[in-house]
Chain A
Amino acid sequence: MDGKRWRVDDSCLGLLDLIPNGGDWIESEDQKLQLRLGPPGGEGSSELSLGLPHRAASAKRGFSQTLGIEPVGDGIAPPPAAAPFVGWPPVRSFRRNLAPCSSTAGPPPQNQKQETRSKGMFVKINMDGIPIGRKIDLSTHDSYQKLSSAVDELFRDLLAEEGRSIPGLLDRDGGYTLVYEDNEGDRMLVGDIPWDMFVSAVKRLRVLKSTNLSLSRRAASH
């Protein structure tokens, strides 16, 4: 090995052919440093020798054991589990809430040919009288009618206990009315604007008891 070129192992055969101008950009005037593929060590002590005993991973830590990692050397190290560490990954907390939906384990996005643009558009939906909300994926519906049935189904179990159901969500004559909060923070009646526009604007949904709705109407007209 002449120290000027990368030593290539089988898995990267042909790498240098694929980089324009081969590997000449990595030639270093400094002959001492040889960038090799092999694991470090075995080159004698460097000028930075401490004269102190080499510190192995402390037994107190059990770090490697915690992660279940084999020391790298010969064998193939199993990929470590993404163990939860404080402050890891180094991403600021406001970035947690950017994605419109939670990610699920699955094929990487590039492999999916998607008809819809979004990855799944989950919005919160609450219902009057029910303390715990649900989430509904708007990207799986393409009309208000479908949305209405989906909402009915979502809360059906909870309502069944009380012997109720919510037909005619869009009729506004039934016991319940569907409203939404738009991207300007206003509460709006579902159904006025084209579906696509609604999907762009909606931030969350709410199923109101129609009595509440008419109460607020009365209040507004005073």
Chain B
Amino acid sequence: MARFPRLRSLTLKGKPHFADFNLVPHDWGGYARPWIEALARGCPELEELRLKRMVITDECLELLARSFPNFRALFLVSCDGFSTDGLAAIATHCRHLRELDLHENEVDDRGEWLSCFPESSTSLVSLNFACLKGEVNAAALERLVARCTNLRSLWMNRSVSLEMLSRIVSKAPHLEDLGTGSYVHDPHSESYHNLINAFLNCKSIKSLSGFWDVAPRCLPAVYPICSQLAYLNLSYAATIQADDLINMIGHCTKLQKLWVLDCIGDKGLAVVASRCKQLEELRVFPSDPFGHGTIDSVTEEGLVSISSGCPGSTRCSLITIAKNCPNFVRFRLCILSPKKPDPLTHRPLDEGFGAIVQSCRGLRRLSVSGLLTDQVFLYIGKYAKKLEMLSVAFAGDSDKGMLYLLNGCRSLRKLEIRDCPFGDAALLKGVGRYEAMRSLWMSSCEVTLRGCQALAAMAPRLNVEIMHEEEEDAGGISCGGGLDDAQRVEKMYLYRTLAGPRSDAPSNLFTL
């Protein structure tokens, strides 16, 4: 920090992506405190701070709020460790706050915070509290929205009723991004009627989200703005059935990004493919990810399938999507059953994903799933030249797969692999790539301690961290005594570093 006393904006990312799915120990690290303390000492001009997957406490938020007189924007994404008390401190002390964006954080609800924005505070441009679990003070929210005339983005949480929504939207017709709360009401009510009118006035809304607890009969209020939308997130809307989704999406001809639940089905995605010609990103979430015995809804149901041709073929669906949507920059498909082959041909899905990478030349992010051999990696390495992030699970046959990737994907920055048969040979062959990459995660693969140690020895500018569950090996690994060299490492995470091993790692994590 001493080197950059005029620092205005800082972005920090902490834990590996797989922390989102509980694969990373809770105390892995990523603590914001040392950073905020250093900033408070050395960078008084700080205006903006973005944290992703870090641990931040209420005390830190208070320190942040009090230390930077020009502070304008706070973005917390997938963070935890704080409560609404910390938010209250931010609201109270940050006089010029323009943006407060809380995206998918774990926040303890301790009560009031919205009313802590002073009545004199009118600077807010963007406010996102969709991830908060508790109630918000409706009156305070309304007053805040009314006086912040520059407010362009507002994402509210589940506790906000449709009635509140209608009052708020009528006070903020210039909104560009809107996240509703619970979207449930009697469609014959006055509130709903007011909402319809409020939406008719909103000519600027380009992104729409929320829709927790939806009453489908209230959806038509939204139709007039659908044709303006670039981004639509219906992935929280578990109560909307396919037909209502289709009706809604049918209006969204300018859509670039769509997040939806798999109950949209084949027919729904066929509508998406035919109406949303500008689609760049599609995410289909399972509506019942942890259910038992149900069909894998994110396979043939989750993809476009030529209805009269190859019903139920994932491979054919992928080919069709690739052809119709060559502009995809992100494509992430999760087939719920690991290693599941194409239901029709019972063959791997290599060609399907091959079609995706061959057609979508601008693809930057890809997640693959289902039954996949080394062949799919050959395709990815060959065609996915702009690919920056790749997630692989339960795929491949041998080290060749990983090598195809490391040799072919020249733009690759983040590679995360779990449960694949890639081992030391592939890991070591890639040593020339890792310093040009942000990180590599490998868990439940064939990589051994010996391989990791060899890699660490070859690459002093990498932190090669291994995480092991058994407590009794603490200290054993560093002496090379307790853990057998040939034993597979459960979790390995490596990243480039200028500072060497970190001091905030938990006891079952070792940097080689």
Contact = CB atoms under 8 A, between A and B. Distances in A.
Interface of A: 6, 9, 11-12, 14-15, 18-19, 25-26, 28, 30, 33, 35-37, 39-40, 46, 48, 50, 52, 54-55, 57-58, 60-61, 63, 67, 69, 72, 76-77, 79-83, 85-96, 98-100, 102-103, 105-106, 108-110, 114, 117-119, 183-185, 194, 196-197, 200-201
17 contacts: A11-B313, A18-B309, A25-B323, A33-B379, A37-B347, A40-B375, A46-B378, A50-B399, A79-B340, A82-B296, A87-B18, A87-B21, A95-B289, A98-B212, A100-B238, A119-B241, A183-B161
Contact of B341 (A55, A77, A117): A77
A105 B293 contact: yes
Contacts of B320: 19
Interface of B: 18, 20-23, 104, 131, 135, 159, 161, 182, 184-186, 212-213, 215-217, 235-236, 238-239, 241-242, 263, 265-267, 285-297, 301, 306, 308-310, 313, 316, 319-320, 323, 334, 336-341, 343-348, 350-351, 354-355, 358-359, 367, 371, 373-375, 378-379, 382, 391, 393, 398-400, 403-404, 407, 418-419, 421, 423, 425, 429, 446, 488
Main secondary structure of the interface of B (DSSP, over half): loop
Question: Sorted from nearest, which 5 A-B pairs have the closest CB atoms?
Answer: A87-B21, A40-B375, A103-B288, A87-B23, A105-B293
B446 A58 contact: yes
Contact of B287 (A54, A60, A99): A99
A108 B159 contact: no
Given A91-B286, A200-B186, 7 more contacts: A77-B371, A82-B292, A87-B418, A94-B104, A108-B265, A117-B215, A194-B186
A60 B18 CA distance: 24
A15 B316 contact: yes
B238 A98 contact: yes
Nearest to B344: A11
Contacts of A109: 241-242, 263, 265
A2 B264 CA distance: 39
Nearest to B391: A90
B159 A185 contact: yes
A59 B423 CA distance: 14
Given A96-B289, A108-B301, A197-B186, A50 B403 contact: yes
Given A48-B403, A50-B403, A110-B242, A26 B358 contact: yes
A55 B242 contact: no
Given A39-B373, A86-B23, A91 B310 contact: no
Contact of A87 (B22, B337, B374): B22
A91 B21 contact: yes
Given A77-B346, A196-B186, A108 B425 contact: no
Contact of A184 (B20, B159, B291): B159
Contacts of B344: 11-12
Contacts of A100: 213, 238-239
B248 to A, nearest CB: 14
B406 to A, nearest CB: 10
A19 B315 CA distance: 14
A114 B243 CA distance: 11
A76 to B, nearest CB: 4
Contacts of A28: 358
Contacts of A85: 338, 419
B400 A46 contact: yes
Contacts of A55: 398-399, 421, 423, 425, 446
A157 to B, nearest CB: 27
B266 to A, nearest CB: 8
Of B23, B216, B309, B313, chain A has the most CB atoms within 10 Å of the CB of B309
Contacts of A33: 378-379, 382
B306 A82 contact: no
B22 to A, nearest CB: 5
A81 B63 CA distance: 50
Contacts of B343: 79
